[in-house]
Amino acid sequence: MRTAPDGGLMREQVLDQVPSPSLGSLYARALGRTARAAAPGMLSGGPSPTTLPQVCYTVPRVPVDHAHLAEYQHLLGEAGTDELPAGYVHVLGFPLAMNLMVRADFPLPVLGMVHVANRVEQFHPLSTTDTLRVQARAQGLRAHRSGTQVDLVVEVAAQEGPEVAWRGVSTYLAKGTTLPGLALAEPVKAGQDGSTGSGEAVDDGDSGAAGSGHSRGGAGGNDAGGRGVLPEATAVWRLTPRTGRRYAAVSGDRNPIHMSALSARAFGFPRAIAHGMYTAARALAAVGPARGPAFTWQIDFAKPVLLPSTVSFGQARTDSGTYTYAGWKAGSDRVHFTGSVRPLP
């Protein structure tokens, strides 16, 4: 047992291994849950849950696959070293978080949930020589004016050491889903609100003036998720229709909204969209070794990146050593994401 964030007890469930990176069976379970939820009382066998499962999944021994790491490094532009990129650690832990989301007692529909923000704290780097201990839990179920939000928390440590080396918090929004008795979340920054277009929201990415409030120029006013001044472009990303499938092959995240225009249309998108964590990981790779060994990496997702697409990317360093970055639709001020990488003392 361990203490939950609300002070209650959370049961620890130990698994032999992290689920297969393909995640195919997990998405099949998610599709089955969605179908049952569409026919309440007829297929579900009872009322839907309204609270989070008080369980923490733990996999005590997770080896690093060197070939898999090299494939990730090549795709995302990370250096080919033995140090694990923070985005790769997210990939290792994501299937465990997905296992929580497809449980029968998880109260939100997995398919169609919107990844609105991600925050990672890396306290010290992990290496290919480490055997990892990975834990995942859900917390922070809260009402939102567009539905319901929840945080999926993954913690990773080297088996040889008791302290957490890496902690990731992925915030999701279940648009249109409301649960009784939940307090309304605090007002969120622009880019976290489904009404302004969140990272994987049902939005065609071309309607409205999502970039209003931004201006082009120096990076001085642009912090993590802030709608200030956009930095000057330092790179241009040309994303092809295969981008979603290529990242899915490395990450295992084969959500239909990323795989093809046909499957994405079933969820309201005109074309497939890039994974939010693909854009986040490319931004982190762009900062490169300057991020140092310990840092906080934050990203807030705004308009989804339809595939194919050309994305302008800019980053800038503040006087305190924090790197801020943003990605926007090339030729416009329509923002896809904003974020920062801040060194930890």
Q: Are 257 and 263 in contact (CB under 8 A)?
A: yes
Run of H or E including 27: helix 24-37
Q: Is the pLDDT of residue 150 over 50?
A: yes
Q: Is the pLDDT of residue 328 over 50?
A: yes
Q: Note the pLDDT of residue 193.
A: 33
Reported as a single tens digit per residue, the pLDDT across 304-319 is 999 999 999 999 999 9
Inter-helix orientation angle 86-101/243-251, to 10°: 80
Inter-helix orientation angle 243-251/276-287, to 10°: 80
- Report residue 128's pLDDT band, with 50, 70 and 90 as the boundaries: very high
The better pLDDT of the pair 30, 123 is held by 123
The better pLDDT of the pair 5, 176 is held by 176
The domain containing residue 210 runs over which residues?
A: 2-343
pTM of the model as a whole: 0.83
Reported as a single tens digit per residue, the pLDDT across 268-282 is 899 999 999 999 999
Reported as a single tens digit per residue, the pLDDT across 207-248 is 332 232 344 444 333 343 344 578 899 999 999 999 999 999
Reported as a single tens digit per residue, the pLDDT across 157-194 is 998 777 999 999 999 999 888 898 887 766 444 333 33
- Tokens coding 159: 């088996």
Lowest-pLDDT range, 27-31, 68-72, 94-98? Answer: 27-31
How far apart CA 11 and CA 299 sit, in angstroms, is 30
pLDDT above 90 coverage of the chain, percent: 64
SS3 71: helix
How far apart CA 91 and CA 239 sit, in angstroms, is 20
Check which CATH number belongs to the domain holding 173 and give it. Answer: 3.10.129.10
Q: Is the pLDDT of residue 1 over 80?
A: no
Q: Are 306 and 329 in contact (CB under 8 A)?
A: no
Give the distance from CA 342 to its chain's centroid.
18
Number of independent structural domains in the chain: 1
Q: How many residues does the chain have?
A: 345
Q: Are 145 and 195 in contact (CB under 8 A)?
A: yes
